[in-house]
Amino acid sequence: MDPSIFLQYSPPNGLPQESKLVTYMNRSTSTPSRTLNQALGKLNLESSPTAIKKVFISEFVPLNYFSHTNILPDSPESSPPSTLASIPNTQVHQENVGGTTYFYSTNSDSLNTTGGLNSSASMGGNDACMGGHGSNAGSSPYASQIYTGTPTHMGPMSSKPGLAASFYMPETIRSEIYQRNEEVFLQTDLRQYPDLPENVEMYSELTPLESAAPHSMATSFRAAHRHSGDQYALRRLHSYSGVATKRLEMWKQIDHPNIVRLHDYFTTNSFGDHSMVLVYDYHPACETLMNKYLAGGGSNSVTDANGAFHDPFSSDPDAPRPYTHQKNAMLRAVACGALLPEAVLWSLLVQLTAALRAIHTAGLACRALDPTKVVMNGCRVRVAWCGVADALHTNTNDVAQAQQEDLTALGRLALALACRTIHCDNLSACMDLVARTYSADLKNLILYLLSTSTARRSVTDLMPMIGARFYTQVEALERRADAFEDQLAHEIDNGRLLRILIKLGVINERPELNMDASWSETGDRYMLKLFRDYLFHSVSPDGRPWLDQAHLAYCLNQLDGGTSARVELMSRDEQSVLVVSYAELKHCLEQAFDEVMQAAVSPP
């Protein structure tokens, strides 16, 4: 290109006064000090080889937008943060090609000042969205790139033989998360529960957790903390006459992935009596082991969609039942293939022994390890409502004995899961089934747990029986973590780009700001308006909307990274084309958004 076609910009003469670009250009008053050749050297029109020839935005075809050399800022890390505070000292050249005026900024400072430094990628959560004041943490060239696909070690993920498909397949992750979110975000109609108090100490929006009619001793609720809005699971012990022991304080210290954490406890008269309330982490979409594997709603169905075995007598566990029913329940489970794969049983047992180990090491005992008090979501098992027994029975001091009972309870639970029935009174028939269906290790583990010998048992003795299956569990969890990380890598950019779209939306076409009706049409905002047109309203030469979502994502990434890549913005009258870097656009965006935010918080 002939450098002589560049004219030095000296406002206001170089620009028609009626042009809206004047407002933008007026912010630069300094006389250009660089020579035209220097200025030209800074321009990198090769990044858009068609830039000069193309006149209409509608003809613009994005090129090289996956090329790293084009999209990375030169050296964002080395850009001094102080340059963010001042408007770049832009020097502008203009050029007329075929009646269309092109404007170029030539000051190198303006190209990279904001590049990546205040990238949304480095912004923290809400703060970033609301205030737009991101941290000045290290810039990230990544911000300007489009993420790559699934790493090769990930896909296609298939379940490994020996691991239950329903446990570790990544496809289940999305539905698991939807299910949890649905439970958390769907508002319950609280008018259904007129008898419940509106507030219980710091908690409100109480929703019963039990589906069946609650009994008179204890009830459970989901509730929201009135300050933080976080969800908690509350266990109310009715007509409480005990005194909280120091064991509850010890339970509060236990933080383990297989134990539902106790956060707090207090007594209250809000329910019309003197109740004790224990406050736990709320885990959405939980199901008890009882519901998931041992019981079901349908009286005649044998298995449900999850493969849960349905015991026709389960609606009333205390109802007398014939011996043949107990035996037949097991036989039916075997016949219809409802027995759990051994890998699933070991996974449950590894997690439950991990929980017991933590509890016993802390000098506590679970005292209520039964299938209605162990909950699952996803493939995670957690012991629920820990500490309730200690709150109820304050004078039981024999922890060692209670720990032995925990082990027996674990044995009963393992046997019930293996036979898929809670009716395991006929021990020899049950053990026979276990011996025929599962490995000797599983049988030995159950026998050890159920042994009535006087020798003291310990949860750590179970380790040799679990043996190498422990590694299978670790491997499965690592695969699951890989799948989560991969999902995260895909989704992480959505939030980043959404923040930019929010900012653009807040600024573009704003009817007025601070009594200025032309605010969104002038100054920095005019550039953003043209950018918005370029992004969303480009048309093909024959006037059809030109839509390319990859290009949209590319441009938004460039904007977020504040790169030195340039973009042609055409005025709506097609008389002027502004050639600007994403760094400048980003600066405009931050400035304008800050103005709106300041107006929002300043008193009327």
Ligand X SMILES: Nc1ncnc2c1ncn2[C@@H]1O[C@H](COP(=O)(O)OP(=O)(O)OP(=O)(O)O)[C@@H](O)[C@H]1O
In the complex, the residues that contact ligand X under the rule CB under 6 A are 209-210, 215, 218, 220, 233, 260, 280-283, 286-288, 372, 375, 384-385
CA angle 68/113/137 to nearest 5° reads 80
The nearer residue to ligand X, 42 or 380, going by C-beta atoms, is: 380
Helix (H, G, I), strand (E, B) or coil at 418: helix
The nearer residue to ligand X, 51 or 356, going by C-beta atoms, is: 356
- Least distance CB 492 / ligand X (angstroms): 27
- Least distance CB 595 / ligand X (angstroms): 45
Please tell me whether 282 is known to bind a ligand. yes
Please tell me whether 54 is known to bind a ligand. no
- Least distance CB 332 / ligand X (angstroms): 24
- Least distance CB 213 / ligand X (angstroms): 9
Cis peptide bond N-terminal to 156, omega within 30 = yes
For residue 514, CA distances in Å to 43, 596, 597 come to 37, 9, 12
- Least distance CB 140 / ligand X (angstroms): 37
The nearer residue to ligand X, 292 or 503, going by C-beta atoms, is: 292
Using CA atoms, how far apart are residues 79 and 88, in angstroms rounded to an integer? 13
Please tell me whether 281 is known to bind a ligand. yes
The nearer residue to ligand X, 282 or 531, going by C-beta atoms, is: 282
The nearer residue to ligand X, 220 or 571, going by C-beta atoms, is: 220
Using CA atoms, how far apart are residues 371 and 422, in angstroms rounded to an integer? 9
The nearer residue to ligand X, 218 or 402, going by C-beta atoms, is: 218
Question: Measured between alpha carbons, how far apart are the two ends of the chain, in Å?
Answer: 53
Please tell me whether 286 is known to bind a ligand. yes
* Strand 100-105, strand 92-97: pairing: antiparallel
The nearer residue to ligand X, 371 or 561, going by C-beta atoms, is: 371
Q: What is the CA radius of gyration of the chain?
A: 33
- Least distance CB 218 / ligand X (angstroms): 5
Residue in 341, 353, 342 with CA at minimum distance from that of residue 463: 353
Using CA atoms, how far apart are residues 369 and 415, in angstroms rounded to an integer? 13
Q: What is the DSSP letter of 12?
A: T
- Least distance CB 160 / ligand X (angstroms): 29
Using CA atoms, how far apart are residues 552 and 327, in angstroms rounded to an integer? 64
How many other CB atoms are there within 10 angstroms of residue 400's CB atom?
11
Please tell me whether 284 is known to bind a ligand. yes
Please give the torsion angle defined by the CA atoms of residues 334, 336, 339 and 343, in that order, rounded to the nearest 10 degrees.
120
Please tell me whether 287 is known to bind a ligand. yes
Using CA atoms, how far apart are residues 437 and 431, in angstroms rounded to an integer? 10
Please tell me whether 373 is known to bind a ligand. yes
Please tell me whether 283 is known to bind a ligand. yes
Q: Which residues are annotated as a binding site for ATP?
A: 235, 281-288, 372-373
Q: Which residues are annotated as a binding site?
A: 235, 281-288, 372-373
